[in-house]
Amino acid sequence: MQTTPSPNSATGRRAFVLGTAGALAGLVASSADVLARPGAAYADGGRRPEHAHDRTKKRIERLIASMTLQEKVGQLFVNVVYGATAETEDPNNTSLYGVSTPAEVIAKYHLGGVIYFVWAHNVNDPVQVAGLSNGLQAAAIASGASIPLLLSADQEQGPIVRLGPPATQFPSSMGLAASRCPENSEVTARITGQELAAVGINQDNAPDADVNINPANPVIGVRSFGSNPKLVSTFVVEEVKGYQNEAHILATAKHFPGHGDTTVDSHTGIPVITHTREQWETIDAPPFEAAIKAGVGCIMTGHLVFPALDPSEDPATLSYPIVTGLLRDQLGFEGLVITDALTMAGVRQKYGDARIPVLALKAGCDLLLMPPLMDVAFDAVVGAVRDGEISESRLDESLRRILGWKFGSGIVCDPFVDVDKVNEIVGTPAHLARADEIADQVITLIKNDDDLLPLPDSISTVLVTGSGETALSTFVTEFDARGVTPTKVVTGTKPTDDMIAASVAAARLNDLVVVCTQNAWDTTTLDPEGRQQRLVHELVATGTPVVAIAISAPYDIAHFTEVSTFLADYAGNAVTTKACVRVMFGEVNPRGKLPVSIPTAADPKVTLYPYGWGLSYDPVLMSMGR
């Protein structure tokens, strides 16, 4: 394992030289003049001497002037590399890039950044990730212009994580908003960011700033804080503060100009947002405006068509009117703009892979994420600059923003992490305890018609079934620990006839059924035959008491309204599942409030459960152990 040490391995060497998110936005601003603003704060609250800003500005200008065109273009790209160490040989690197190791990929293209994924074998355990980060940074410093990397991951929490346990896991964004406590969002981002920083990840592609007003949204859902722009804005701001002010890593608000009202997943198609300009200004824009005001350092574009904002119907990532006209000019954003992954269908259906990176840069983007054919993309940008389609001065604008953050964050001076200290930061008992405290505030009791909850002492056996292996296994462990004998039948999101039959047979032999559903409302893509709904219908028909739990978006209850008891935990990971059990046994009084409204299955315009709905127990019952 590559564990290249820092030349100075003392703690604190990665501290931000800026103490506020607002100052960060200043350092990554689009002009060199902004870099020269006097008086930005040190992390310790002191004032930075004006001459230090001048020196930083001059260093950046000297560096840009010394770089070759290929080195400049390389800084724009953020790619996947395959391997657990910088020196791991992987055939995927060879097929994609023509070289075998991550270090060689970085050297070949002079990359500006790398994004980590489990499927790329980058994330096995925290110590390994820290070693990989150090190895990649050493490779970057040893090649080209010797500029350290942006190392990023999608650590949104809830169901979207790259660094799993033993790193601290938290509820999803929608779950955090269900708590109605903005501080929970700040704490989640702070702890998540601290743990990412400990393993060398200096950018999180979070928070999600989309306003999820469409219950049929197949790609955002619980990644959003909810359907109310004010609520979403409040929680987005707290996450920006947690990541940047407290954890000192780069936050990334996404997916501009707003991905919350679509029924198409941009990974597989082109979403078309039909909002008017006025609707965009009142629904989609506020969270991004709030993030910008809070000093967010980076914004990710969405691969979606928004005709009211750009009649050409180019995807937003490639739209000058959206990226430059709205984001830069109207909203005043001076930070980094990164594309969503350029492998996604939402950006590839109108233009070829050679045009997409060029058009993204012309639109105003700075960082190009995961082009599917790197040689094609790289050569296309180099060619566009040489041919004059993209001016070198435009290229240098993005370089100033990229280098401004790299210098301002301190990674240019010291890009390495202390591998020996990883386990002192990642997944500590204090962090895990804080996650449990937050999860207890998230669980939303939506229906308890038969007063089944809190569970009576007479329950001695339970069937745990449905979707979500982590959730089901955690339920088994937690019920067993409380003296209730569990039986588990995993059915997944598309239960077969045999699975349904096995669950029904087991239900008849138990005192209680707990069934987990995962976006059972989605009978278009996830579960076309509605088999999760059928499973719940047949379980209820057995007469055994049933507790249904939505482990993703809470909309499922509309499709099996005969269930008398329904909870939402918004994530289905271990931390929210344990909180569910504490709620079910009356150890915790449910406090969560819906951050979205739930429509009826028959008519999405008719509300079944309103925004803000959430039940709690009678304190008398809790005091009696019920």
Give the long-range contacts of residues 40-46, CB within 8 A, separation 24 or more: 42/17, 42/18, 43/15, 43/16, 43/17, 43/18, 43/19, 43/248, 44/19, 45/19
Is the C-alpha dihedral spanning 29, 33, 34, 35 positive or negative?
A: positive
- The mean pLDDT of the chain is 91
Active-site annotation holds for 340: yes
Residue with the two structure tokens 């079944």: 608
d(CA 329, CA 607): 38
Rg, Å, the chain Cα set: 25
| pLDDT for residue 144 | 86
Question: Under DSSP, is residue 510 helix (H, G, I), strand (E, B) or coil?
Answer: coil
Residue with the two structure tokens 């004032």: 47
pLDDT bucket at 26, cuts 50 / 70 / 90? very low
Residue with the two structure tokens 């981002």: 189
Distances (CA, A) of 176 to 360, 422, 466, 610: 33, 26, 24, 18
Active-site annotation holds for 210: no
Distances (CA, A) of 306 to 10, 309, 322, 342: 49, 6, 9, 18
State whether CATH 3.20.20.150 applies to domain 76-430.
no
> Which phi and psi angles does 297 have, rounded to 5°?
-85, -20
Please give the class, per CATH, of domain 443-624.
alpha beta
Q: Across residues 260-275, what is the average pLDDT?
A: 87
Asked if 580 and 478 touch (Cβ cutoff 8 Å), the reply is no
| pLDDT for residue 86 | 98
Query: Exactly one of 90, 284, 340, 522 is catalytic; which is it?
Result: 340
Residue among 349, 365, 276 at smallest CA distance from 315: 349
Asked if 132 and 151 touch (Cβ cutoff 8 Å), the reply is no
For 528-551, the pLDDT digits (tens) are 999 999 999 999 999 999 999 999
Of 34 and 70, the structure prediction assigns the larger pLDDT to: 70
Question: Under DSSP, is residue 357 helix (H, G, I), strand (E, B) or coil?
Answer: helix
For 572-616, the pLDDT digits (tens) are 999 999 999 999 999 999 999 999 999 999 999 999 999 999 999
User: Helices marked H in 7-144 — which ranges?
Assistant: 21-27, 32-35, 50-66, 69-75, 91-97, 102-109, 126-141
Asked if 111 and 79 touch (Cβ cutoff 8 Å), the reply is yes
For 191-203, the pLDDT digits (tens) are 999 999 999 999 9
37 pLDDT higher than 60: no
What are the residue ranges spanned by the domains of the chain? 76-430, 443-624
49 pLDDT higher than 70: no
Query: Exactly one of 265, 267, 353, 436 is catalytic; which is it?
Result: 267
DSSP state letter for 388: T
Question: Under DSSP, is residue 419 helix (H, G, I), strand (E, B) or coil?
Answer: helix
Question: Under DSSP, is residue 337 helix (H, G, I), strand (E, B) or coil?
Answer: strand
